[in-house]
Amino acid sequence: MTKQFRVLYKVTIIILAILAAMLIGSIILMTIGADVFKTYRVILFEPLKTTLQLTEVLIRAIPLTIIALGISVAYRSGIINIGAEGQMAMGILGTTAVALAFPELPKPILLPMAILAGAMAGGVWGFIPGILRAKLQVSELLSTVMLNYIAAQIYTFMLRGPFLDPAELTMGSGTPQSMRLSRGIWLDRFLKGTRLHTGIFFALFLALLIYLLLWKTNYGYKMRAAGASARAARYGGISVTWYLVIAMVISGAFAGMAGAIEIAGVHRRAIEGITGGYGFSGIVVALFGGLHPAGIIPASFFFGLLIVGADMTQRMVGVPANMVNVLQGVIILVIVATKMILADPYLMERVWRKYQGIGKKHVEVEA
């Protein structure tokens, strides 16, 4: 097998995968009678046209990056965290609680405290499935999904009860939301006229942190070993269950921090629907980014683009914004299938033989 063929083979498969994903998306678009090319054009390019839209993409990319970093840590340690949605909601509650309890504290104290509270609340929500998996072999796929639903209910309960804005009570409009949080936790918006906030630097910092943790420390090495092959790791004296729990706590804490950053930077009060699917999109981002911080950052930009673009298709071509979920689902399926195809040496061998066969036939015809 020539090296040229190997590269050609891989590139062809990746192109075919992209086409397959777009084709499935097109089928759905054609079913609702939308203009397929226009829709894809609006989703992919329209948000890049103005600075305001571009910053909106970046704002979506911030929580996506943070969540995906956490999910990649869990995934590399051999545990799939689909509970980021719930962990993020709990993080928002933790941050809100601190901000409501100590509104007078100066910013340098309150902001770190609030983010830490978010991380801790999310971490606890990640610890539960982690310990259940480690000690009782409960599938984390099911427990994290269930914890998402539970967190969503706790979230609405808190917004309707203890955290409810007193102004809502007196005015009687009853919108479940907290009061505007103290200025002490606001992240600065550094670009005039946009909502882009300093959380973006925090996200980049966390990406660096995860890179260092996973590839430059003993801890990270053991985590990756536990994920790559639990049996081999156990044989090597690594306590696999312990690292599973740690990985889930980190993963949950990151989702919690994403929630903290999101309300400190964008909403500045706890309202309903903040998490809005970020937890699930984070899984796609983590996979799309190859479970590596250097891939996750561009991937989160790309999916931020999809989310903003899908909002625009609703207005511009009448395609419901749910389309973004369709695309994300297809992308997951295509990525996992493509990964397996690329990792299959037998298949490559077979294609190589066919390829040679075709070459020979050509020679015969020419002769």
Q: Under the rule (CB under 8 A), what is the footprint of other proteins?
A: 28, 31-33, 80, 82, 132, 136-139, 141-143, 145-147, 149-150, 153-154, 156-157, 160-161, 280, 283-284, 287, 319-320, 322-333, 336-337, 339-341, 346
Distance CA 178, CA 244 (A): 35
HSE (side-chain half, CA atoms, 13 Å) at 9: 21
Q: What is the DSSP string of 330-363?
A: HHHHHHHHHHHHHT-HHHHHHHHHHHHHHHHHHH
CB of 216 to other proteins, least distance (A): 27
3-state SS of 64-109? Answer: HHHHHHHHHHHHHCCCCCCCHHHHHHHHHHHHHHHHHHCCCCCHHH
Enumerate long-range contacts of 166-175, CB under 8 Å, 24 or more apart: 175/271
CB of 29 to other proteins, least distance (A): 9
Closest CA to 97 of 117, 122, 111: 117
Distance CA 83, CA 148 (A): 6
Based on CB atoms, which residue is closest to other proteins, 80 or 204? 80
CB of 31 to other proteins, least distance (A): 7
Based on CB atoms, which residue is closest to other proteins, 79 or 263? 79
CB of 156 to other proteins, least distance (A): 6
What length does the chain have?
367
Based on CB atoms, which residue is closest to other proteins, 296 or 330? 330
Q: What are phi and psi of 189, to 5 degrees?
A: -100, 110
Based on CB atoms, which residue is closest to other proteins, 31 or 218? 31
Q: What are phi and psi of 137, to 5 degrees?
A: 55, 35
Based on CB atoms, which residue is closest to other proteins, 82 or 185? 82
CB of 314 to other proteins, least distance (A): 9
Based on CB atoms, which residue is closest to other proteins, 20 or 204? 20
Place of tokens 């020419």: 366
CB of 286 to other proteins, least distance (A): 10
CB of 265 to other proteins, least distance (A): 26
Based on CB atoms, which residue is closest to other proteins, 244 or 284? 284
Based on CB atoms, which residue is closest to other proteins, 155 or 243? 155
Contacts with 261 (C-beta within 8 Å, 6 or more apart), sequence order: 62, 63, 66, 115, 187, 199, 202, 203
Place of tokens 């299959």: 344
CB of 27 to other proteins, least distance (A): 10
